[in-house]
Amino acid sequence: MKILLIEDESSLRESIITYFTDEGNICETAVDYRSAIEKINIYSYDCILLDLTLPGGDGMEILRAIKKINKKDGVLIISARHSLDDKLDGLNLGADDYLVKPFHLSELKARVAAIVRRKSYDGNNIINFNDIYINTQAMSVKIGENILALTRKEYDLLVYFIANHSKVITKSAIAEHLWGDEIDLSDHFDFIYAHIKNLRKKLVEAGCRDYIKSMYGVGYKFENV
């Protein structure tokens, strides 16, 4: 997929690009208002990652510009502004999602994947990873021909893992993804383990290979074995 990252903070830009640029993703960047407007007018992207505070102009204006020229690009706002007004304004203006800084790169990738999936013209509701097929519309999971019964949290977890396959995902990223960031779960990470254990067990029992690898202390990795 083709992504445009509009972000003025260079080290954050680098991290995001590094995280996204593999398996055929193309990631372009714009560092200020003017260059962002230029790129938007010339090219089309699957998803635009938009920071709101930029040198030379307000990110909201870029969002308005995108909508004005009828671009169908997905827009994900990434902002340090936690204010509800900004969030609502952004979503009302037609942004697809809003992610508050600081965020986990795995969360960003999962959200981008969700936006791109929703925006795809061929109505692609299927996420595929080797023998795992997930129908996001029906929220059903198949391993080959076997239908897998997962709880809501296990389903979310599997989608999250596949969106970030081959990446190490931290326990706090998983906790925030599944339970939101309003509660500090850092002293309760052990119960995440129970969920992952259950998911892994169900996958293996359905004849799936064991893709989930535990990285001690750091987190988990979902990868092809």
Partner 1 sequence: MKLAAKYNRVTLIASIIVFLFTGVIYYSVIHYILTGQLDKDLAIEEDEIAAYVKTYGKLPLAGSFKEQKVSYHLIDPNHDFERRYFYNDYFNESEQRIEPGRSLIRTIDVKGKLYSVTVTKSRLEAEDLVRIIFLITLSVTILLLITLLLINRFILNNIWKPFYGILLQMKAFNLADKNDIRIEPTKIDEFAELNAAVATMSLRVKQDYRELKSFTDNASHEMMTPLAVINSKLDTLIQTETFSDSQGELIEDIYIAVGKLSRLNQSLLMLAKIENNLIGDQETINLDELISQKTRQFQELLQSQNLNLKTELAIKKINMNKHLADMLVNNLLSNAIRHNYKGGEIFIQLNDSQLTISNTGSAAALVVNKVFERFYKNAASEGMGLGLAISNQICNLYHFKLNYTYQDTKHTFRVSF
Alpha helices in 120-187 (DSSP H): 152-163, 171-179
CB-based contact 216:163 (threshold 8 Å): no
Identify which of residues 159 and 169 has a Cβ nearer to partner 1 in the complex: 169
Alpha-carbon span 67 to 198, nearest angstrom: 44
Cβ 127 to partner 1 shortest distance, Å? 21
- Alpha-carbon distance of 175 to 177, in angstroms, equals 5
Least distance from C-beta 91 to partner 1, angstroms?
A: 14
Give the Å distances, CA to CA, from 153 to 33, 115, 132, 221. Answer: 39, 20, 17, 17
Closest separation in Å from C-beta 146 to partner 1: 25
Check: CB of residue 3 under 8 Å from CB of residue 28.
yes
Using CB under 8 A as the criterion, which residues of the chain lie in contact with partner 1 when the complex forms? 9, 11-12, 15-16, 18-19, 53, 80-84, 100-106, 153, 167-168, 170-173, 179-188, 190-191, 194-195, 215-219
Nearer to partner 1 by Cβ, of 143 and 169: the residue is 169
Residue 12 or 118: the one with the smaller Cβ distance to partner 1 is 12
